[in-house]
């Protein structure tokens, strides 16, 4: 769904990427913290053991990326994600809402789809290799989206089965604003093509593709590629096997 993540690099002028760990298992948080804090461009700035605690602390601690567990007491990760990414949620300490990567031990389609609809920018299994988790943090922070490869195809197939017939689906208003080339780029995004692959398909520079992708996201009013792909499937612009 997205390009391979960039390698680690020293923190820039703005400092390292600030990460929050939200999981009800302290040992899991300790393991994640050890891996993340070993990187020069990443820093764990807070931990929380449930969704309510996370929302309270994230309201006052500026954070870039949240690693969010699904099954937690008091408030689960999906509900916490929906509130955290809501424009109506009060965030005195945050200029912008952080991006959320949902982490779970359960490779279940309903969690993936619910996480995406709740506003998450990523979905990974907890048993993913450490380098994959680190890569996901950097990729999501850069504005891209990450879905575990094992879940991507099934996510889209499941999404389509939950939708009404094509003739009953209202077209997203933003689609009418897309140019022919932007619509073409969206279709290729929905087929899982990376920016590099889209550039090769269309015989243009990768920088040009990035510009098109940015305009697609802006016109559709979505946060990232995954949200744009969901729009493409929900509207019927792309169908499985097309």
- Whether 42 and 134 have beta carbons less than 8 Å apart is answered as yes
More confident residue, 56 or 151: 56
If asked whether residues 142 and 203 sit together in one domain, one would say: no
If asked whether residues 193 and 151 sit together in one domain, one would say: no
Residue ending a domain, choose from 156, 183, 208: 156
The answer as to whether 7 is a domain residue is no
The candidate with the shortest Cα–Cα distance to 115, out of 161, 152, 165, is 152
Q: Could you give the angle at the alpha carbon of 157 between the alpha carbons of 151 and 138, nearest 5°?
A: 35
Mean pLDDT of 165-187: 80
* For the chain, percent of residues with pLDDT exceeding 70: 74
Q: What is the CATH number of the domain that holds 49?
A: 3.40.50.2300
Task: Give the per-residue pLDDT at 92.
Answer: 55
Average pLDDT, the chain: 79
Mean pLDDT of 184-196: 84
Flag whether pLDDT at 28 surpasses 80: yes
If asked whether residues 205 and 139 sit together in one domain, one would say: no
Task: Tell me which residue range forms the domain holding 229.
Answer: 167-235
Per-residue pLDDT band at 213 (split at 50, 70, 90):
very high
More confident residue, 26 or 154: 26
If asked whether residues 129 and 185 sit together in one domain, one would say: no
Task: Give the per-residue pLDDT at 166.
Answer: 44
Flag whether pLDDT at 31 surpasses 80: yes
State the residue for tokens 């493409």. 232
More confident residue, 108 or 87: 87
If asked whether residues 62 and 125 sit together in one domain, one would say: yes
Residue ending a domain, choose from 156, 182, 208: 156
Per-residue pLDDT band at 156 (split at 50, 70, 90):
low
Q: What is the CATH number of the domain that holds 227?
A: 1.10.10.10
The answer as to whether 33 is a domain residue is yes
If asked whether residues 175 and 200 sit together in one domain, one would say: yes
Residue ending a domain, choose from 156, 175, 202: 156
């Amino acid at each position: 769904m997205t390009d391979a993540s960039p390698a680690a690099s020293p923190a820039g002028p703005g400092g390292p990427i600030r990460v929050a760990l939200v999981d009800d298992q302290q040992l899991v948080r300790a393991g994640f913290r050890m891996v993340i804090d070993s990187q020069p461009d990443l820093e764990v700035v807070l931990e929380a053991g449930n969704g309510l605690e996370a929302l309270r602390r994230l309201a006052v601690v500026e954070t870039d990326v949240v690693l969010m567990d699904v099954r937690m007491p008091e408030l689960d990760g999906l509900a916490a994600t929906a509130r955290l990414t809501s424009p109506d949620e009060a965030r005195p300490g945050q200029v912008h809402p952080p991006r959320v990567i949902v982490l779970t031990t359960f490779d279940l389609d309903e969690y993936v789809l619910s996480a995406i609809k709740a506003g998450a920018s990523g979905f990974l299994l907890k048993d993913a290799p450490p380098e994959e988790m680190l890569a996901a943090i950097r990729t999501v922070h850069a504005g891209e989206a990450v879905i575990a490869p094992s879940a991507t195809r099934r996510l889209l197939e499941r999404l389509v089965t939950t939708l009404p017939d094509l003739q009953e689906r209202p077209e997203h208003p933003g689609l009418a604003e897309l140019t022919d080339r932007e619509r073409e780029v969206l279709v290729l995004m929905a087929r899982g093509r990376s920016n590099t692959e889209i550039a090769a398909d269309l015989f243009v520079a990768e920088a040009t593709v990035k510009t098109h992708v940015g305009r697609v996201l802006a016109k559709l009013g979505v946060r990232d590629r995954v949200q744009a792909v969901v729009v493409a499937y929900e509207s019927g612009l792309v169908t499985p096997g097309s």
